[in-house]
């Protein structure tokens, strides 16, 4: 069996990355794009090349409350604007990018991952194809045979005697 080769990567080899971020819900809707552009500008200022983004972030309700500490004060959030940006960059810029996002007061939380260039968003399914159902009931108008207990016992005995073990 052939083992897969492990490729050594240096800090010079660029990769594809994606940042998923959650912005504070207190931002006015008309100002959300400004904060998204600030994140994109940070990536570009560190020589990152933007590939795609999720468009305008969407206000979502969080599964659990999140806390962000700003100026020694904890603030709890139960909703936030979720968005993402995909970019191409060298790994050596990641510490500076991470620090910049951590210091951004508008970002509640973010996730930085290595990904692929292709579009990984699955298309929405509008419905499932109905499965063909076999109907074992007699058709309308056909008489249903009613068996007596003696006939049922006889049929069961025949099935047991013909069964192979």
Helices 32-45 and 94-103, packing angle to 10 deg = 150
Q: Within a domain: residue 48?
A: yes
> What CATH number does residue 72 fall under?
3.30.70.60
User: Domain range for residue 93?
Assistant: 15-114
Confidence (pTM): 0.65
42 φ, ψ (degrees, to nearest 5): -65, -45
pLDDT tens per residue, range 110-158: 999 998 887 766 666 666 666 666 666 666 767 777 889 999 899 888 8
């Amino acid at each position: 069996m052939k083992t897969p080769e492990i490729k050594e990567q240096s800090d010079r080899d660029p990769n594809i990355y994606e940042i998923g971020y959650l912005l504070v819900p207190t931002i006015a809707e008309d100002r959300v794009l400004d904060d998204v552009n600030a994140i994109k500008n940070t990536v570009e200022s560190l020589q990152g090349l933007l590939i795609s983004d999720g468009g305008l972030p969407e206000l979502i309700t969080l599964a659990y409350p999140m806390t962000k500490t700003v100026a020694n004060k904890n603030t709890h959030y139960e909703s936030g604007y979720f968005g993402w940006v995909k970019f191409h960059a060298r790994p050596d810029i990641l510490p500076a990018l991470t620090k910049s996002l951590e210091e951004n007061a508008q970002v509640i939380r973010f996730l930085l991952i290595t990904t692929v260039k292709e579009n990984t968003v699955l298309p929405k399914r509008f419905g499932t194809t109905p499965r063909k159902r076999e109907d074992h009931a007699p058709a309308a108008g056909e008489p249903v045979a009613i068996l007596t207990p003696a006939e049922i016992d006889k049929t069961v005995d025949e099935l047991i005697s013909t069964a192979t073990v």
